[in-house]
Structure 1
Amino acid sequence: MPGRPDFFILGAPKCGTTALSEYLRDHPQVFVSRPKEPHYFCDDFDYYYAPGQRTEEHYLRLFDAAGPQHLAVGEASVWYLYSATAARNIMAFDPRARVIVMVRNPVELVPSLHSQLRYMLDEDEPDPEAAWRLQAARARGERLPSTVRVPAFLQYGAAAALGAQLRRVYEAVPREQVKVIVFDDLRRDAGAVYRETLAFLGVPDDGRDEFPRVNENKVHGNAALARLTQRPPGPLVAVARGVKRVAGVQRLGVLDRVRRRNRLVTRREEISPAFAQELREHFRQDVAELGELIGRDLSAWTA
Structure 2
Amino acid sequence: MSRRPDFFILGAPKCGTTALSEYLRQHERVFVSTPKEPHYFCEDFDYYYAPGRRSLSHYLRLYDGAGDDHLAVGEASVWYLYSQTAAREIMRFDPRARVIVMVRNPVELVPSLHSQMSYMLDEREPDVEAAWRLQAARARGESLPATVRVPEFLQYGEAAKLGAQLRRVYDHVPADQVKVLVFDDLRADTGAVYRDTLDFLGVPDDGRTDFPRVNENKVHQRAAVARFTQRPPSALVAVAKGVKRVARVERLGVLDRVRRSNRQVARRPEISPEFAEELKDHFRDDVRDLGELIGRDLSSWTD
Q: TM-score range by the shorter chain?
A: over 0.9
Q: Tell me what 1:79 maps to.
A: 79
Q: Provide the C-alpha distance between the structure 1 equivalents of 2:50 and 2:2, rounded to a whole number of angstroms.
A: 26
Alignment correspondent of 1:67: 67
Question: Partner residue of 1:18?
Answer: 18
Map 1:176-195; keep pairs closer than 5 Å. 176-195=176-195
SS at match of 1:219: strand
1:268 to 2:268 alignment: yes
Deviations along 1:167-199, one digit per CA (max 9) or x if unpaired, are: 000000000000000000000000000000000
Q: Could you give the per-residue CA deviations for residues 222-275 of structure 1, whole angstroms, max 9, x where no partner exists?
A: 101101100111111100000000111111000000000000000000000000
Residue 103 of structure 1 contacts residue 182 of structure 1 at CA under 8 Å; is this kept in 2? yes
The alignment-based identity, stated in percent, is 80
One-letter code of the match for 2:169? Answer: V
3-state SS of paired residue (2:100)? strand
| Distance in 1 between residues matched to 2:8 and 2:180, nearest whole Å | 12
1:121-178 deviation line (CA, Å, top 9, x unaligned): 0000000000000000000000000000000000000000000000000000000000
- Report the counterpart of residue 251 of structure 2 in structure 1: 251
1:164 equivalent in alignment to 2:167: no
Displacement of 1:276: 0.2
Query: 1 CA distance for matches of 2:220 and 2:43?
Result: 30
User: Are the equivalent residues in 2 in contact too, given 1:2–1:70 (CA < 8 A)?
Assistant: no
Could you tell me how far 1:49 is from its partner in structure 2?
Answer: 1.2
CA contact (8 A) 2:2 2:61 kept: no
In structure 1, what residue type is equivalent to 2:24? L
Given that residues 33 and 75 in structure 2 are in contact (C-alpha distance below 8 angstroms), is that contact kept between their aligned partners in structure 1? yes
Instruction: After TM superposition, give the deviation of residue 52 of structure 1 in Å.
Output: 4.0
**Following superposition, which runs of at least 4 residues in structure 1 exceed 2 angstroms of deviation?**
50-53
Which position in structure 1 is the counterpart of 2:92? 92
CA contact (8 A) 1:2 1:68 kept: no
SS in 2 for 1:249: coil
2:298 is matched with 298
Aligned to 2:58: 58
CA–CA separation in structure 1 for the residues paired with 2:252 and 2:203: 31
1:211: which partner in 2?
Answer: 211
Gaps of 5+ in 2: none
Whether 2:225 is the aligned partner of 1:231: answer: no
**Residue 113 of structure 2 corresponds to residue 113 of structure 1:** yes
TM-score (ref. length: structure 1) = 0.99
User: Is the contact between residue 2 and residue 73 of structure 1 (CA under 8 Å) also seen in structure 2?
Assistant: no
Q: CA deviation at 1:30?
A: 0.1
CA distance in 1, matches of 2:201, 2:37: 19
The 10-residue stretch of structure 1 (45-54 or 32-41) with the greater mean CA deviation from structure 2? 45-54
How many angstroms does 1:50 deviate by?
3.0
* Residue pair 2:2, 2:60 contacting (<8 A) in 1 also: no
Task: Give the distance between the partners of 2:31 and 2:250, measured in 1 at CA.
Answer: 16
- How many equivalent residue pairs? 303
Which residue identity is paired with 2:230?
Answer: Q
2:46 alignment counterpart: 46
Residues of 2 paired with 1:128 and 1:78: CA distance?
A: 20
- In structure 2, the partner of 1:149 is 149
Instruction: Tell me how far apart the structure 1 counterparts of residues 48 and 206 of structure 2 sit (CA, whole Å).
Output: 33
Amino acid of the residue matched to residue 301 of structure 2?
W
What's the CA shift for 1:51? 4.4
Deviation at 1:119, TM superposition (A): 0.1
| Residue in structure 1 matched with residue 35 of structure 2 by the alignment | 35
| Cα pair 1:91 1:173 within 8 Å, conserved | yes
Measured against aligned partners, the alpha-carbon deviations of 1:10-47 in whole angstroms (never above 9, x if no partner) come to: 00000000000000000000000010000000010112
Q: Does the aligned pair in 2 maintain the 1:2–1:66 contact within 8 Å?
A: yes
Distance 2:44 2:52 in 1: 15
TM-score (norm 2): 0.99
User: Counterpart in 2 of 1:135?
Assistant: 135
Cα deviations by residue, 1:85-128 (Å, 9 ceiling, x for unpaired): 00000000000000000000000000000000000000000000
RMSD (Å), alpha carbons: 0.9
Q: 1:297: how far off?
A: 0.1
| Aligned-partner Cα distance in 2 for 1:162–1:155 | 13
TM-fit CA distance, 1:2? 5.9
Q: 2: CA distance between counterparts of 1:259 and 1:27?
A: 26
